[in-house]
Amino acid sequence: MLKEAREALAGSLEKSYHLAAELGELPLVSQLPEIVLERTREKKYGDCATNWAMLLARPLGLPPRRIAETLARNMPHTDGLLERTEVAGPGFVNFFLAPGAWWQTLRRIQNEGSHFGDSALGQGKRLQIEFVSANPTGPLNVVNARAATVGDVLARIAEKSGYKVEKEYYINDEGSQIENLGRSVEVRLLELLGRDAALGEDDYHGEYVKDLARQALSENQQLAEEPSEKGRRFLADFALGRIIAGQKLDLADFGVEFHVWFSQKSLGDEIQKTIDYLAQKGYTYEKDGAVWFASQRFGDDQDRVLVREDGRPTYFAADVTYHKNKLDRGFDFLINIWGPDHHGYITRLKAAVQALGYPEGTLEVILVQLVTLVEGGRQVRMSKRAGKLVSLRDLIEEVGRDAARFFFAMRHRDSHLEFDLDLARMQTEENPLYYVQYAHARICSILRKGAEAGIFLSSGETDYSPLCEEETLDLLKLLSTFPDLVQECAQKMEPHHLTRYAQDLASAFHGFYTRFRVLGEEPPVTHARLCLADAVRLVLAEICRLLGVIAPEHM
């Protein structure tokens, strides 16, 4: 139900208490517990219920059921909102709303359109979400794809919830993994030239490295000469450029666009400045020839090295600098999305953000768990070392962008995700994505058929009173929970509720569709049902937009 209706009910309940107190039916106390109206799980308990009487039992010194009965009896009339109240169980007050309460929802959706469900939760605060940020040493894989989906969907949800959102990708284009990449390409190049060379354990074994070597050679024939430092540098830069370009392209085809691609290399001397800044604040010290950050002061279980004995800054030092850079850009909140292998890293980075002078909670790190691919009832074996990973590109080609995104958004981000490739490929009812999309297409079809017959959505006031059957009201009730749902997703930073709701809404509509006709009824009935169908269409389309999948008009 809508927030307005909830607030109205809570207000009436409090009035009821004061009325009862005036009549001497209940003792008067000054401190009242907060009224919480919760959705009921079962219809027989009404549309919503409150445990307020149970909370009042102690302060009033009366049995909760008696309080509940008194409150229910004294409920003032709430112009057309409430049908009746009941007292049940240990002292719940159950509210049964009148149809008019649900018709309000429809009016709202008609007025607000795709803005239905928008909120001011974020108060215009600037939020940056950094995600994927994979090493630029190979194509993006399925775990990156999951992170990409979660990050992108969360960004859309946050935007709808009143945040100003920027999406950013951090390119780790510096460090030993880049050296390894350059060497790996060089080995493959030497192989192409028929010379002796072998990959080391830390090198990249994937097929794409051979491709890179081939492309580099055709681009720069001088590479066929004796190996040189210059040639080596060319190879590393060439590979890096190609890989990053490939990642950008894959993500774009996956529907994920970043506002900023931030190069680690570009931090340059900011790293030293950041270390100096921390030193000046007294958060660093020297030990064993290294410079340490006193992260234990901020709850870390050990201090961390910023500058190695040999004078090179650690990756951590660069990361602290990067986060200082982000904060200097004026963001109010930072969200990082990482894989589970980085979780030991969270405390020290949060410590750094606090050391830089920002309150706890400025940085939140979300971990997205691993993905298992299943095909033909069997797990698809993947090995990073051997370079046998299913890439994001493969996934897009295999199951399509929409199915991949929907499936990645479907599970709680903290749970391992089993991705059934066969199911994702299916274009039948078993596939939840098609189930949802079909509901949308069906409604579009009704609207088209209506338009052909000269029946259009009325722009003015609609008489909703024909919408009174149980299934119809159920559909309306579900629609009215959408704003709460979006807020829940935003607050908990959990996108998966969205897919579940989409399935529920599609299911409710399919049921409605089977039971009732929209077109061909008496004009008032047809008009009212057309409004309802269109409202469902709008909400489904909005969910698809948030998920980044297509809401098809035909199927």
208 in contact with RNA (CB under 7 A): no
Q: In one letter, which amino acid is 481?
A: T
Cα–Cα distance measured from residue 253 to residue 249, given in angstroms and rounded to the nearest whole number: 6
Cα torsion angle, 412, 415, 416, 418, sign: negative
Cα–Cα distance measured from residue 256 to residue 153, given in angstroms and rounded to the nearest whole number: 9
Cβ-based nearer residue to RNA, 225 or 301: 301
497 in contact with RNA (CB under 7 A): yes
Residues 516-545 that bind RNA (CB under 7 A): 516-520
Cβ-based nearer residue to RNA, 473 or 519: 519
Nearest approach in angstroms of CB 39 to RNA is: 5
Cβ-based nearer residue to RNA, 126 or 265: 265
Nearest approach in angstroms of CB 193 to RNA is: 29
Extract the tokens encoding 482: 């959408």
Cβ-based nearer residue to RNA, 156 or 529: 529
Contact letters (x/-) for RNA, 115-154, by CB under 7 A? --------------------x-------------------
469 in contact with RNA (CB under 7 A): no
**Locus of tokens 């001011």:** 120
Cross-sheet strand order for the sheet of 164-171: 260-263, 164-171, 126-130, 333-338, 363-367
215 in contact with RNA (CB under 7 A): no
Cβ-based nearer residue to RNA, 327 or 439: 439
Contact letters (x/-) for RNA, 153-172, by CB under 7 A? -------------------x
Q: Where are the beta strands (DSSP E) in 48-198?
A: 48-50, 82-88, 92-97, 126-130, 164-171
38 in contact with RNA (CB under 7 A): yes
408 in contact with RNA (CB under 7 A): no
* Terminal CA-CA length for the chain: 32
Cα–Cα distance measured from residue 306 to residue 321, given in angstroms and rounded to the nearest whole number: 11
Identify whether the C-beta of residue 508 lies closer than 8 Å to the C-beta of residue 475.
yes
Cα–Cα distance measured from residue 103 to residue 26, given in angstroms and rounded to the nearest whole number: 35
Partner residues linked to 86 by β-bridges: 94
78 in contact with RNA (CB under 7 A): no
Residues 501-520 that bind RNA (CB under 7 A): 503, 507, 510-511, 513-520
Cβ-based nearer residue to RNA, 78 or 180: 180
Cβ-based nearer residue to RNA, 16 or 472: 472
297 in contact with RNA (CB under 7 A): no
Among 117, 231, 246, 432, binds RNA (CB under 7 A): 432
CA angle 102, 104, 105 (to 5 degrees): 70
**Locus of tokens 């390409």:** 185
210 in contact with RNA (CB under 7 A): no
